Amino acid sequence: MILILLGAPGAGKGTQAQRLQDKHGIVQLSTGDMLRAAVKAGTEIGLKAKAVMERGELVSDDIMTGIISDRLDQPDCEKGAILDGFPRTEAQAEALDKMLAEKNLSLNVVIEMKTDDEVLVERITGRYTCANCGAGYHDTFLKPAKEGVCDKCGGTEFSRRSDDKAETVKSRLEAYHKQTAPLLPYYREKGILKQVDGMAEIDEVTRQIEGVISSI
């Protein structure tokens, strides 16, 4: 199964993708995580992406489609993939259609996580991840059971994204509305767009997503 989680930054795509990965064994492909790893490793792509990401703008379509195409060829994608953060432009959506056709794969569903911009700034500026396993947490909405200790791996080091600052979040939301939201009619016309309430509590969003998946 190939599914896309589509939504504004902070809509909860990463959180829900992790849960889907754990439950269904379908791998989460987060282009944001891949770019952050490339920046950290100092690769050519990382060097190109760093400044763009810090401005809250989008990395070029060619780079992104290349990354996803290579990633889908890896053996861990055999059962399918959850695309988290890709596609983000119409050019990427068209390139995805083409690459899936070439790989004899098909897109099963696009799940829009609907949110209001006002809540997103608080969500984004409060979030952090385990530096060891990448599990996501939030200062207010999703604390680890034991303060300072990761529920998943017991790690005690955490990190925050450098683009999760309030100033950058504004540009990222603008990029979403200008460049990514036009994908909603694109997928609606194909008849594969479903919606869940991204404003609901995390467990409720999971229930809604599971409902969508079991209906396809």
123 is a catalytic site residue: no
Q: At residue 7, what are phi and psi to the nearest 5 degrees?
A: 180, 165
Query: Which secondary-structure segment (H or E) carries 133?
Result: none
Asked whether 136 and 127 are in contact (CB, 8 A), the reply is yes
Q: Which of 36, 123, 172, 194 is catalytic?
A: 172
- Output 20 or 53, the one with its CB closest to ligand AMP: 53
Q: Is 96 in the site for ligand AMP (CB under 6 A)?
A: no
Residue 166 burial (CB count, 10 A): 10
Nearer CB in complex with ligand AMP: 53/196: 53
Q: How far is the CB of 69 from ligand AMP (least distance, A)?
A: 12
Binder to ligand AMP among 32, 134, 155, 198 (CB under 6 A)?
Answer: 32
Considering the candidates 50, 88, 123, 194, report the single residue annotated as catalytic: 88
* Closest distance of CB 172 from ligand AMP, Å: 5
What are phi and psi for residue 67, nearest 5 degrees? -60, -50
The answer to whether residues 82 and 3 touch, using CB atoms and an 8 Å cutoff, is yes
127 is catalytic: yes
Does residue 52 belong to the site contacting ligand AMP (CB under 6 A)?
yes
Instruction: Return all residues near 129 (Cβ < 8 A) that are at least 6 apart.
Output: 135, 136, 137, 158, 159, 160, 161
**74 vs 156 by CB, closer to ligand AMP:** 74
Give me the 76-95 binding string for ligand AMP, x by CB under 6 A, dash otherwise: ---------xx-x---x---
**Residue 9 binds ligand AMP, judged by CB under 6 A:** yes
- The residues in 169-198 that bind ligand AMP, with binding defined as CB under 6 A, are 172
26 vs 58, which CB is nearer to ligand AMP? 58
Q: Which one of 2, 6, 45, 56 is in contact with ligand AMP (CB under 6 A)? A: 56
- Report yes or no: 72 and 79 within 8 Å, Cβ to Cβ: no
- SS3 category, 143: coil
Residue among 211, 205, 180 nearest 13 (CA): 205
Contact partners, residue 102, CB within 8 Å, separation at least 6: none
Q: Which of 110, 79, 130, 118 lies closest to 180 in space, CA to CA? A: 110
Q: Which residue is nearest to ligand AMP (CB)?
A: 32
- Residues in contact with ligand AMP by the rule CB under 6 A: 9, 31-32, 35, 52-53, 56-59, 64, 85-86, 88, 92, 163, 172
The residues annotated with a catalytic role in the active site are 13, 88, 127, 161, 172
